[in-house]
Amino acid sequence: MAEQEASGLQVLLSTLQSSCDKDVILNILSVLTDLLSLGTGRRIHYVISKGGSEALLQALATTARTEPPDHSTLLPLLRLLARVGQRDRKFGLKVQKAEATDIILSLARRNLGHHLHLTHCLWVLRVCASNVTTGTTLGINGAMELLFKVITPYSKRHIRTVRAAIEALAALLKSKSNSRRAVKRGYLGGLLRLYQDWHHNDVSNNYIYTRRGLLLCLKHITNIQLGRETFLGSQGMEILFTSVQDCLPCKNLDPIITIVTQILRKCYPKESLPVVTVRSSYFFPLPGNAKVEPPCEGLEGDYESDGEEEAEKDLDDEDVESKEEDYDLETDVNKLRARPVLDRPEEELGQYEAMCLELSHSFQELESESEEEKSLEDRAESLPTTPSHFIPNATSVKHPNYKWRNQSVTEMGPDPGEKDFKVPLQSWTKKEECRWDATDEKRDTGEAAQYADSCEEEDPARSHALTLRPLPKEAAWYKKIFYPECEASISPSPGGRMESSDIVTSLLEKHQGDIPFHSPSFYIARAKCVKSIPDYKDLAFPDFWGHQPPPYSKPMLERKYGIQRDKVLDDVRRLIQPGNVIGRTVFDTDEASHSSPGAPGCLTFFSKFESGNLRKAIQVREFEYDLIMNADVNSNQHHQWFYFEVRDMKLAVPYRFNIINCEKFNSQFNYGMQLVMYSVKEALQGRPCWLRAGHDICYYKNHYRCSAASGGGMRGKCYYTLTFSITFPHKDDVCYLAYHYPYTYSTLMSHLDTLEQNRNPKKVYWRQQTLCQTLGGNPCPLLTITAMPDSKKRDDLEQFYNRPYVFLMARVHPGESNASWVMKGTLEFLVSSDPIADLLRKCFIFKIVPMLNPDGVINGNHRCSLSGDDLNRQWLTPDSQLHPTIYHAKGLLYYLRSIGRAPLVFCDYHGHSQKKNVFVYGCSIKETLWQAGCMVDTAVITEDVGYRTLPKILDKVAPAFVMNSCSFLVEKSRESTARVVVWKEMGVLRSYTMESTYCGCSHGVYKGMQLGTQELEEMGSKFCLGLLILHLKSLPCSKKVMAQAALLLDLEEEITDRAQRSSSNSSLETDDEPPCVEEIDYNTDSCSDGEGDFSELDQENQECLSWMEAETEDEGVTTGQTCSSKALRGLYISSQPTSNSTALPLHSTALGVYSGFESSPA
């Protein structure tokens, strides 16, 4: 049957091409019209596949040669060509091959006096011009000059024809050569005057699409640099900015507002960032022969080549990345197979034996039952109180024998009499809050002082004086906080301020110790020993005082309609009304003079503290500031993380902040994410919380560019603006704003001190060592956590030594602070007295590097180390001098593999800025080959699917985790990441990167909520639960372990599926991240200007048919023999309803003179 239909259609098309009989041609056209009027576009594509376009073009050429032209045949033929051509991707090439361009232009010129015939010609001309090559040919042959004879100032006559001409012109101007020709002939100024005239006179908004067509012409012309320059010289910015103000109140005018905003943003003159150099303010000299280019000043004027199309590709780039995803997949099976390859001499691995002392520990301290009842004093004396550090380097003593040897090692730890802390697992949806005993504060202060003294003795250069940042300066507030019992006559020191030392003493007395696992004394002691490039002298209050999660979660911020275009237009207002811009620098790390308190009524900024990042602040208006982030050290890029202090604010005033040098092309700030804020006044009143804050938040491309000279060769790199408004809770407060919940290096080290102090040494084996020293001279901690053996019996020791390893890491990217909060939850659970944690410790030995890039965290980097390298791209061949933490972490993994103890699970904790939920990336040969479209011989390629077990478990036990977001593809561009290298070289099947969103969840119990620190910590503890269930499901277990598990876990209940999740999954990673799943227009809130939607052309055809029938009744012309009216109406049913019109007040403007229509026949 299908063959008969195909042969029948081919006969019709063949006859149409060869026949000269008018009636036969009309009948065939009628049949084709009826055929294409039913069903969907699939019929049209079928006709195209059978040569329909070629047949219609041949028929057009034959009919057009007759004298005079037979319009009864030409009109239905032109309608069919417009209908078919708009869906034929090669229509332009077919038109050229049939030499039909001159025919179409000739028909249009001959019908300038007849608007009905001309409209049909213009429809076909528009479709032909959609192909850039054909459009260029049409432009050379005078198509634009012809169209400008048709396009008239505002008139209610021949509206359909004028609109068709404008839209055909817009299609022609997609060609760069046509755009240049239009600019050189002065058409741009004429288009501006035409738009002003239509805008002014179309009071009732009846001709929105005609006005939009004129704007599309301007949009395409301004795609070239010459067009943008001419547009600026013609006052185009002012004209469009003024006109769009009239449109903003009317939602029906969104098609116009959208394109105007795109044009204004694109034509905004490009500028360099207002900084001396785009390179980091901080420079670190590298060891050895490694060289870093010193900061260089950026040159202006080389943003892009003359005549090049501007990078108007925000959405297109995302599409290209999606299309190229499969091309990045590794399809070489030999490369995908795990192949252990050493990147260093084998004898070097011996040095890592000292990091696995648990395998040689004799546990002499485990005494008999009676000896365990000795006094706590005697017990404590046998335990050292300071950790033993081993720092491997190139000259370390080599150990040729890596097999573990029995050695007598004394386990370190605090007084065993210290009480346990516990992280209950009651609900497994929210972690129950733990309170740290405030009575330990005095002891902590003493121990912290001892640590600071020991730090100074070991390295006097490391310890330095630190000053707590000044508190709010209001005298009355000081009295209320520090002197609540004093009379009003008593006042603090002159100026309403106490001395810094007095403040710290008073604060330590006031601190109630009610923030779990945080001690300000420990923090100060650790912070004194931190080495930083700026040599920090100040402590940020939130890090000193601590953070307590609020008792509630905050929903994602609902996006205000039109907020993005409003912000873009606000930026344009600066250009048009420069007199309203203050432009005063109030903070600048490059200029010390700008870092002092600013003018009265101006906010005061500061960021020179650990993990701080704010380079410059410029006051734009009274309550608006432009902010510039610092690049990563020894780099000119990676602007995302920010953390800074602001003070001297007014009450109940919304302050607007614009961070103008962001780099990622999209952000979750467009989809409900908020930054975080910490108020000192709130903290001292008992609410020490980082809270989600900010409104009117959006993220979009701005007019700043990085020149080739200053951008390291990246020509015309675009910057993006993150804009948000904050209404501060108190007058003259001190507040801190950050990209995400900060977690500094000193916070980690003091947290480890607290955990070690509070663990139960009878149950928890804890060893803290130094993996290595970083480039900046800071120790990178390595933890070993497991359960102490039950006794010194051989079976118990054998069980201890044979426990499988789990290797965990976090914070290789400094700006991903959420990874540290997840790690915090993991650590607190692992050392807790919860029975599930106790059982987990008996199942595994945990090797943990909680912060793999301390230098980056300390100096406020977002992605790199002090070498300017992304450390998660150095795992293939790490340099021992430039990437010491990666080099030695990989060396430790090599050592474990060499002794037959490769980890069962490897997981690298990360943060994700462009996706929601928590998920993992893993590695699979088969899934990668299947995704790439390769044939997979299952008999040759076998693979253990156990890599999916842990993610499936987490999907069931962790509320924030989503299995559908996980990916197990291996990309070529990710071959040097930890996940892929550990999978390939160490042979670890379960090698993962676990990504935690900065934003919130789209599924499960946290759906629609932003994740806080409590939820992130919960994820860390749930990961531990997942490991325990993995052990029970995948590994042989003793009856004793299974019996304990049966008592603690109802596996049937724990693994029960929750509600079915549905989530779009993207496997493409961009900087370890796939692009956003949501679509985004960087200019306005609309998804598209709709210029490529030919359904409007169908609507025009339908309207024109009705109009044509009315005209023929008046003129007495018979056209019904072409095809039935019913068939024609069925062919051109519109898919878009006409919007209701709303009248707007419009302004008048002068208009140029254009040639109009010749008189139509009566």
Known catalytic residues? 995
Query: Nearest 5°: phi and psi at 2?
Result: -60, -35
C-alpha span between 954 and 950 (Å, rounded) = 6
What's the distance, CA 50 to chain centroid?
45
Helices (H) and strands (E) in the chain, counts: 41, 20
Cβ neighbour number for residue 859 with a 10 Å cutoff: 28
Going by the DSSP 8-state scheme, the letter that residue 399 receives in this structure is -
- Quick check: helix, strand or coil at residue 800? helix
DSSP state string for 1064-1121? ------SSS-PPPSS---SSSSSS---TT-THHHHHHHHHHHHHHHHHHHHHT---TT
Annotate 676-700 with b (16+ C-beta within 10 A) or e (fewer). bbbbbbbbbeeebbbbbbbebbbbb
Peptide bond into 68 cis (omega under 30): yes
Q: To which H or E segment does residue 692 belong?
A: strand 690-693
Residue type, 129: A
The one-character DSSP state at 426 is S
Closest CA relative to residue 720, chosen from 456, 1082, 1148, 318: 1082
Query: Residue 828, SS3?
Result: helix
Amino acid at 416: P
Sheet of 675-679: strand order equals 604-606, 643-647, 734-738, 675-679, 690-693
Distances in whole angstroms, Cα of residue 996 to Cα of each of 914, 1010, 1029 = 10, 12, 21
Residue 853 has φ and ψ, to the nearest 5°, of -135, 65
Please give the angle made by the CA atoms of 130, 133 and 139, to the nearest 5 degrees: 80
Yes or no: say if 986 and 906 are a contact pair by the CB < 8 Å rule. Answer: yes
- Output the CA–CA distances (angstroms, integers) from residue 79 to 20, 88, 114, 831, 1102, in the order listed: 20, 14, 16, 77, 10
Cα–Cα dist 601/603, whole Å = 7
Half-sphere exposure of residue 273: CA atoms within 13 angstroms, side-chain side: 36
Q: Are 588 and 620 in contact (CB under 8 A)?
A: no
For residues 728 and 677, what is the distance between their CA atoms, to the nearest angstrom? 9
Rounded Cα distance, 302 and 708, in Å: 7
Buried (b) or exposed (e) across 360-372, using 16+ Cβ within 10 A?
bbebebbeeeeee
Which H or E run includes 148?
helix 143-150
CA distance 688 to 806: 35
DSSP 3-state of 583: coil
- Contacts of residue 539, Cβ cutoff 8 Å, sequence gap at least 6: 466, 467, 468, 469, 523, 524, 527, 609, 610
